[in-house]
Amino acid sequence: MTYIPANIARVPNMLRTNLSLGNISRTQLSLLDVQNQLSTGQEISRPSDDPVRYAGIQVLARRQAQSQQVLRNLSNASASLGVLDNAMGEVNDIALQAKQIALAQVNSISTPSERASQAIIVNQLLSGLVKTANREGVSGFVFGGSTPGTQPLQEINGGYQFKAQGNGLLADLGYADTVPITLGPSAGVGSTSARIKGDVDLNPNLTTGAKLSTLNGARGLGVSVGTLQFAFNGGPAATVDLAGSDTVQDVITKLTNAIRSYETTNSVTVLAGAGVTVNGDRLQINVAAGGSLQISDVGKGVTAQDLGIGATFTPASANGTGVDPKLTWTTPISALAGVAGALGSVRVNHLGRSTVVDLSTATTLQDIKSALESKNVGIRVELDANGKGINVLSDVSTSAAMALSIEEVAGNNSTATRLGLRTFGATTPLSVFNNGKGVQVVDNVTNPATGLVDPELNYDFKITLGNTPTAAVVKVDLRPQDLTNVQTVINRINSEIASQLPGQGLLGTDLVAQLADGANGITLVQNNTFTQAVKVEQANNSTAGRQLGLLNGAYNAGTSTFVGTDTAKVRTDNLVTYLIDLRDALQTNDVSGIQLAGENIDRIIGLISETRGMVGGFAQRVDFATKIEDDRNAIDTKVRSELQDVDYTAAATRFSLLQTQLSASLQTTARVQATSLLDFLS
């Protein structure tokens, strides 16, 4: 309120006026502040109002803004997972319908025409599955993996190629938690196959251009670059800092320069010949005659150990320890110690096409990758995770007849085998035959009459050969221990041949089982003077002969060779593949094919259920995260309101008091201003 301070008795009119105006201005300013609080609802609107409370308000505001983004993410994730769950439900329904058809049509009373009509229904199920696989959600294609903008399943040459890559997009749930809102390759829709896993260690040599990051190191822990020390013939020690080195050449250059400087400083000759260089998979340090170069780490460093040079080098001991280089796409073919000799051509069979790929001009692994992928037959080439070989992946679901296989081209130095890419090679495990079902044999079958194991009931197939009209028969009994890989099976067949033919007047070498330099499959080569065609027949209801591709083979009289079929072809393991199998088996009235397709579909149903359970789990996490975020946001809103929002009752009361104060101030000022010196004297 405007007043004249008691300690000021007689003052000039100007001072009195200024005092009154100052008091009125402060009252008006307070009124303005209260009016702003009442109009905005905020007690704190700028730092000067209350620095401490304003700082707390800003922290809460930032956290609430982040919370709103997380809630938007959660809403988007919930919608995406809802679409994904519906899609997985449709996939499951399609699989169940297909399984029911397979169960109904595998019985003996179904006619070929009935099965053909059911094939039409299965084809419609396949079309429905393709549409479901290409379902779009709020984040793009729900089965698009990490590339949701790309249509996942696309038709190619009678098959269906899964184009999506990656495991899926992730939604930020807050608290450093994430969930995928799109799915990548899955057994239900579009898994890829990496069954052509290079089974040969290409064993790359060390090159000067190799990056240190691509070396496993002598300890198998990579290469850590730092400082190492060296001394010559027990002389003074010197250090060299390899920090910042990126390639093997960087290490060679820095180490060579340091040793040359040491030579100058100490008037000695340390290096001879090529000096510091590479040899095979390791560094080589050539020391002058009569010299001894000791290299070691400094303190707790491990650089010398990782580079394989933490040792004493002499003219007789110039090589370090191997550093196990990994393969890279720039690795030269000439640096592959595991591939001796020049490369030639390989044959790729896929999607009904047989393509010869010439690798003779390839100079790096990238050239091999480009040559194979450029044929556009639905394959991808990748480096194996262990850095020792290359893998070929098929991402096309197709019929068994158009499945992927890689075989030799005769006279090309076994190129596919040497690269580890032949799908039916000596080291191919039998567990991958017949699309993962392997090979089954009869074993330990007893004679009902004697109760003893009967050899006549335990052999799996018989081979007929020789001269017409007489013929020799070899009964092949495969044992469980023979089912390791193709070579162990071939060894067992040859053992049976060698033990049984002499008893029939033939030589044990008149029939040989082997792999041909050419098409895939086990071949049986008989003496070219024999006139009887080689024939393989099933025995004791064993499926081994068919599963090895021997029952459906063909005899070539010109070469006296029986050539088995390839039952180790590579196919994608998903519902699309097995719906194609079921459709084709129904169309051709193939009862065993219907049964096999039904079994595979039943197995896939279990995998689909697991995927649906995973999606449901993600949905629960989203719901839980949403609840937590809502609760936290509500608490933050309450605290922020307590710090920032105005108390309307208190503000209104204060506003009324300030109005009264302003009115009184104006009246007092008017009365005081009206008095003069004469009023005082009187």
The string of DSSP codes covering 544-555 is HHHHTT-TT-EE
| Per-residue tokens: 426 | 């000596």
* Rounded CA separation 70/67 (Å): 5
Lowest mean pLDDT among 17-21, 315-319, 440-444, 497-501: 17-21
* Contact by Cβ (8 Å): 565, 524: no
What's the mean pLDDT when you consider all of the chain?
87
CB-based burial, 282-298: b 16+ in 10 Å, e otherwise: bbbbbbbeebbbbbbbe
Give the per-residue pLDDT at 13. Answer: 64
Read off the pLDDT of each residue in 241-269 and give the average, rounded to a whole number. 95
Read off the pLDDT of each residue in 473-490 and give the average, rounded to a whole number. 96
Asked if CATH classification 1.20.1330.10 holds for the domain at 63-191+575-630, the reply, yes or no, is: yes
What interhelical angle do 575-587 and 591-644 show, nearest 10? 150
Cα torsion angle, 461, 465, 468, 472, sign: negative
Residue reference for tokens 């689909």:
608
Residue 1 has pLDDT above 50, yes or no: no
* Rounded CA separation 293/314 (Å): 7
What are 397-412's pLDDT values in tens digits? Answer: 888 888 999 999 999 9
Confidence of residue 511 (pLDDT cuts 50, 70, 90): very high
Read off the pLDDT of each residue in 456-473 and give the average, rounded to a whole number. 91
DSSP state of 558: T
Residue 627 has pLDDT above 60, yes or no: yes
Residue type, 426: A
- What are 174's strand-pairing partners? 177
Residue 411: CB atoms within 10 A of its CB come to: 10
What interhelical angle do 575-587 and 112-133 show, nearest 10? 160
Which one is predicted more confidently, 673 or 119? 119
* Rounded CA separation 384/368 (Å): 14
Give the per-residue pLDDT at 625. Answer: 81
Give the per-residue pLDDT at 258. Answer: 96
* Rounded CA separation 360/619 (Å): 53
Return all residues near 322 (Cβ < 8 A) that are at least 6 apart: 218, 280, 281, 282, 308
Residue 509 has pLDDT above 90, yes or no: yes
Cα torsion angle, 607, 608, 613, 617, sign: positive
Cα torsion angle, 357, 360, 361, 367, sign: positive
* Rounded CA separation 120/128 (Å): 12
CA distances from 477 to 44, 414, 453, 525 (A): 92, 30, 13, 19
Read off the pLDDT of each residue in 366-389 and give the average, rounded to a whole number. 90
- What are 171's strand-pairing partners? 179
Residue 35 has pLDDT above 80, yes or no: no
Give the per-residue pLDDT at 167. Answer: 80
Give the per-residue pLDDT at 7. Answer: 52
* Contact by Cβ (8 Å): 64, 630: no
Confidence of residue 16 (pLDDT cuts 50, 70, 90): low
* Rounded CA separation 399/579 (Å): 9
* Contact by Cβ (8 Å): 266, 226: no
* Rounded CA separation 241/617 (Å): 52
Q: Which helix (H) or strand (E) holds 473?
A: strand 472-476
Q: Is 12 exposed, middle or buried (0-12, 13-18, 19+ CB in 10 A)?
A: exposed
Give the per-residue pLDDT at 682. Answer: 57
Percent with pLDDT over 70 in the chain? 93
The three-state secondary structure class of 10 is: coil
CA distances from 475 to 452, 459, 539, 551 (A): 19, 6, 9, 14
Quick one: which of 185, 251, 207, 218 has its CA closest to 365? 207
What are 326-350's pLDDT values in tens digits? Answer: 999 999 999 998 888 899 999 999 9
Beta-strand ranges (E) seen in 13-157 are 136-137, 140-141, 153-156
613-619 contacts at long range (C-beta below 8 A, 24 or more positions apart): 615/81, 615/84, 615/85, 615/88, 615/183, 616/85, 618/77, 618/81, 618/179, 618/180, 619/78, 619/81, 619/82, 619/85
Read off the pLDDT of each residue in 158-165 and give the average, rounded to a whole number. 84
Read off the pLDDT of each residue in 207-223 and give the average, rounded to a whole number. 94
Confidence of residue 664 (pLDDT cuts 50, 70, 90): confident
Residue 235 has pLDDT above 70, yes or no: yes
Which CATH number fits the domain 212-313, given the four candidates 1.20.1630, 2.60.40, 1.10.3470, 1.10.530?
Answer: 2.60.40
CA distances from 127 to 94, 124, 380 (A): 10, 5, 25
Counted residue by residue, the chain has a size of 682
Which one is predicted more confidently, 179 or 209? 209
pTM value surpassing 0.85: no
Q: Which helix (H) or strand (E) holds 252?
A: helix 248-266
Confidence of residue 2 (pLDDT cuts 50, 70, 90): very low
Give the per-residue pLDDT at 58. Answer: 78
Quick one: which of 608, 604, 578 has its CA closest to 593? 578
Give the per-residue pLDDT at 314. Answer: 95
How big is the CA angle at 77 (ends 73 and 82), to the nearest 5 degrees? 155
Give the per-residue pLDDT at 436. Answer: 80
Give the per-residue pLDDT at 588. Answer: 92
Read off the pLDDT of each residue in 582-589 and give the average, rounded to a whole number. 93
- What are 279's strand-pairing partners? 282
Pairing state of beta strands 461-466 and 561-563? Answer: unpaired
The three-state secondary structure class of 163 is: coil
Give the per-residue pLDDT at 470. Answer: 80
Lowest mean pLDDT among 111-120, 482-491, 610-619: 610-619
Give the per-residue pLDDT at 178. Answer: 76
Peptide bond just before 204 cis, omega within 30 deg: no
Pairing state of beta strands 511-515 and 390-394? Answer: unpaired
Which one is predicted more confidently, 170 or 458? 458
Confidence of residue 188 (pLDDT cuts 50, 70, 90): confident
Lowest mean pLDDT among 94-108, 251-265, 291-305, 663-677: 663-677
* Rounded CA separation 266/236 (Å): 8
* Rounded CA separation 301/315 (Å): 27
Residue type, 129: L
Which one is predicted more confidently, 38 or 296? 296
What are 279-292's pLDDT values in tens digits? Answer: 999 999 999 999 99
Residue reference for tokens 């899955």:
186
